Amino acid sequence: MRCFLLLCAGVILFAGVGCGGSGSGDDDTDPSEDPGLHLQGFVEDEGQRQAGVTVRLFYMDEMVAETTSDGDGEFLFSDLEGDLSDYRVRVVGVE
């Protein structure tokens, strides 16, 4: 399991392979299978987490996903493939 933290333009981004999980205990997936890549983090401005901010995920300069930060300012992109260094996250703005 690899996890690390990236800081960029007001976004606190946690990235990793196989970090976290559903926590439900009833997951019937084979643990030997690649758990995939996910990026999760939160949007912060001047020490305050920001809800309702649109965040876009780009892979090799092509937008592949978009989400909005939740009530705690958090967002998650999951089931990603490829090399983490090829992904970029951009904060678009408040909806």
pLDDT of residue 62: 93
Convert the pLDDT of each residue in 17-40 to its tens digit. Answer: 444 444 444 444 444 455 667 788
Supply the mean pLDDT for the chain.
71
Query: Has residue 23 been placed in a domain?
Result: no
Mean pLDDT within 66-85:
86
CATH number of the domain encompassing residue 75: 2.60.40
* pLDDT confidence of residue 35: 60
- DSSP structural state of residue 84: G
- 71 or 33, higher pLDDT: 71
User: What are the start-end ranges of the E strands in 9-94?
Assistant: 11-17, 37-45, 48-49, 53-59, 62-68, 74-80, 87-94
Number of domains in the chain: 1
Task: Write out the residue range of the structural domain in which residue 88 sits.
Answer: 2-18+36-94
